[in-house]
Amino acid sequence: RGKADPHLVVIGGGITGLTTAFYAIRQAKAEGLGLKVTLIEGSERLGGKIRTMRRDGFVIERGPDSFLARKRPIIDLSRELGLAEELVTLNPATKKTYILRGGKLHRIPPGLVLGVPTEWKPFVTSGLIGLSGKLRAALDWVLPAARGDADESLGGFLRRRLGDQVVDFVAEPLLSGIYAGDADKLSLLATFPQFRAAERKYRSLMIGLGRGAGATRSGAAGEDHIPPHARGSAFLSYRRGLSALVERLSETLQAEGAVLLTGEPVRAVTPERGGGAVVTLANGDALLADAVAVTTPVSALGELLQGVPEASLFRDMAYASVANVVLGYRRDAIRVPLDGAGFVIPRTEGRFITACTWTSEKWLHTAPRENVLIRCYVGRIDDERWRTMDDAALGAAVKREVAELIGIDVEPEFLDITRLEKSMPQYEVGHLDKVRALRDALMKKAPGVFAAGAGFEGVGLPDCIHQGKQAAEQAVAFTRR
Ligand code: FAD
């Protein structure tokens, strides 16, 4: 390698990989160091799960559709990329969200924080939960806090504090949707560690969250970090959709001299004795890297990193497969009011769709005003019926439920299906121990190789960005050791 600039290879061109490359270049520049960056993406397209389709005035998200405004890393990145002006807020007129219970839509009671009631009055008067469920939830005020630091399931924790009804009919459908998972299997510490912290500090979860104990590792309280025009909205997106972020990152990386390879899957990362690694592509080419950031889905790690047995800890990690079905209508054909953001469906309802967003009402930038856009979510970790269906059958099943649940029975002008096989990693109990074991093993057996992304410490876009930034800092520090 002689005196040439050190070489960082980033594997994976989703949001984590793009962010890693971006911050590595920035950091090296700030320190006056030379750094050559190559980003290698296996598919033909950058962005990974992020995929916006723009057509006929519609902005249609086929993957993620927005992000939590209170989480700082994505707001900072938006600013650094000159995208802050493009941030758009939720339509303030559609504050209501519903939960299906007994075939009917019930308004989610105000005062819910992360699916947990924190205001007594709206909760008591809600028709979502029976009297016995409300009385059981009230026990949260007096039940002692559990001891010990061991992980437990998210569902187990919430059932212990709030009882089964609140979990099954309110918290689970709201929280598990993020993972398309089963709350009784998901790890509390890897998904909502703030619940444990609230119990520790306040004993009662309802009181703790009511007092603001909901902030997370990459979350910030308050709104000071958000540009003024984008304040007052729990979620944000961009006027041209989330792909605007991917496009701006890739333009910036190219302008900074990074090499972006697409359609080139990596086959192996072979650690070098003195640090760094040889990165071998499926086409047989090999690149010598002083540092490597692996940001692929974690199930691929075992294959890629054969010299590190701990990489196989994630080989059997469960991933939920989901489908998105987007339906576009002419507004004058819709005879029912869509007075909110949409609804979620508890698994106990036994429905085919898991949630439905009234996208054009929730996000004004997504459709021309003379149209209505609806997005239905299908599939969860224990319901893969849709995978055996062709597009016609899948579309028909969704249209049937849209007619039954919200009364829209006209044919849509268009229907778009996105199949996202094995797209949502399931952080099961003990997940963070595996992450630590892998990171320790990489340090010892593959110095200079770093791993980050949705399979590790947070699936949300801000969490992926946070991880990408950390990987960049570690990689740059390693190259100048
Ligand atoms: P990915 O986007 O999966 O990128 C990994 C990349 O690695 C891919 O491009 C892949 O092709 C590439 N790759 C794989 N193997 C190789 C190889 N061998 N060589 C080279 N490249 C390889 N988050 C939110 O914050 N808000 C939301 O509204 C939201 N909604 C979601 C809805 C759905 C349906 C899904 C699936 C996720 C959603 N998420 C949401 C989560 C979020 O989108 C993802 O966690 C995030 O985009 C993952 O980014 P990543 O870069 O870590 O991984």
Which structure tokens are listed for 354? Answer: 């898991």
Q: What does the pLDDT read at residue 142?
A: 96
Burial zone of 316 (CB within 10 Å; 0-12 exposed, 13-18 middle, 19+ buried): exposed
Average confidence (pLDDT) over 288-304: 96
Ligand 1 environment, Cβ below 6 A? 11-17, 40-43, 48-50, 63-67, 265-266, 295-297, 300, 322, 324, 420, 423-424, 453-454, 459-461, 464
pLDDT range class, residue 1, cuts 50, 70, 90: very low
Q: What is the ipTM score, two decimals?
A: 1.00
pLDDT of 164-204, one tens digit each?
999 999 999 999 889 999 999 999 999 999 999 999 999 99
Please state, rounded to an integer, the average pLDDT across all residues of the chain. 95
What is the reported pLDDT for 222?
A: 80
Region of residue 382 (left: phi > 0; alpha: psi -120 to 50; beta: else): alpha
CB atoms within 10 A of CB 425: 23
Q: What is the tens place of the pLDDT at every residue in 5-54?
A: 999 999 999 999 999 999 999 999 999 999 999 999 999 999 999 999 99
Residue nearest to atom 36 of ligand 1 (CA): 423
Q: Report the nearest atom of ligand 1 relative to the CA of 377.
A: 34
Nearest CA owner, ligand 1 atom 20 = 42
Please tell me the residue having the least CA distance from ligand 1 atom 16: 42
- pLDDT score at 220: 55
Tell me, in angstroms, the distance from the centre of ligand 1 to residue 262's CA.
Answer: 15
Reply yes or no on whether the pLDDT at 221 is more than 80.
Answer: no
Q: How far apart are CA 414 and CA 127, in angstroms?
A: 35
Give the C-alpha separation, 464 to 452, whole Å. Answer: 8
- What average pLDDT score do residues 115-137 get? 94
Is the confidence at residue 218, as pLDDT, over 80? no
Radius of gyration for the alpha carbons in the chain, expressed in angstroms and rounded: 23
Alpha-carbon distance values, 474 to 205, 253, 266, 356, 378 (Å): 36, 19, 22, 40, 38
pLDDT at 62: 98
Task: Return the best residue to mutate from 68, 261, 459 for the ligand 1 pocket (most ligand atoms within 8 A of CB).
Answer: 459
279 or 110, which is more confident: 279
**Segment 361-376 mean pLDDT:** 98
Distance 83 CA to ligand 1 centre (A): 21
Give residue 273 CA to ligand 1 midpoint distance, Å: 31
What does the pLDDT look like over 384-416, one tens digit per residue? 999 999 999 999 999 999 999 999 999 999 999
User: What's the CA angle centered on 390, arms 388 and 393, to 5 degrees?
Assistant: 100
| Model confidence pLDDT, tens digit, residues 435-455 | 999 999 999 999 999 999 999
3-state secondary structure the chain: CCCCCCEEEEECCEHHHHHHHHHHHHHHHHCCCCCEEEEECCCCCCECCCCEEEECCEEEECCCCCEECCEHHHHHHHHHCCCHHHEEECCCCCCCEEEEECCEEEECCCCEECCEECCHHHHHHCCCCCHHHHHHHHHHHCCCCCCCCCCCEHHHHHHHHHCHHHHHHHHHHHHHCCCCCCCCCEEHHHHCHHHHHHHHHHCCHHHHHHCCCCCCCCECCCCCCCCHHHCCCCEEEECCCCHHHHHHHHHHHHHCCCEEECCCCEEEEEECCCCCEEEEECCCCEEEECEEEECCCHHHHHHHCCCCHHHHHHCCCCEEEEEEEEEEEEHHHCCCCCCCCEEECCHHHCCCEEEEECHHHHCHHHCCCCEEEEEEEECECCECHHHHCCHHHHHHHHHHHHHHHHCCCCCCCEEEEEEEEEEEECCECCHHHHHHHHHHHHHHHCCCEEECCCCCCCCCHHHHHHHHHHHHHHHHHHHCC
Can you tell me the mean pLDDT for 330-339?
Answer: 95
Whole-Å CA distances, 268 to 36, 203, 214, 283, 294: 20, 48, 40, 11, 11
Count other Cβ atoms within 10 Å, centred on residue 347. 16
Per-residue pLDDT at 2 = 47
Question: 13 C-alpha vs ligand 1 centroid, how far in Å?
Answer: 9
d(Cα 189, Cα 191) in Å, to the nearest integer? Answer: 6
Question: Best of 461, 467, 470 to mutate for ligand 1, by most ligand atoms within 8 A of CB?
Answer: 461
Atom from ligand 1 closest to the CA of residue 461? 25
Place of tokens 């998200």: 61
Report the C-alpha gap between 98 and 144 in whole angstroms.
32
Which neighbouring-strand residues pair with 327? 374, 415
Write down the pLDDT at residue 177: 87
* Cβ neighbours around 103 below 10 Å, total: 9
Output the CA torsion sign for 141, 144, 146, 147: positive
* Residue 65 Cα: closest atom of ligand 1: 28
Residue nearest to atom 12 of ligand 1 (CA): 12
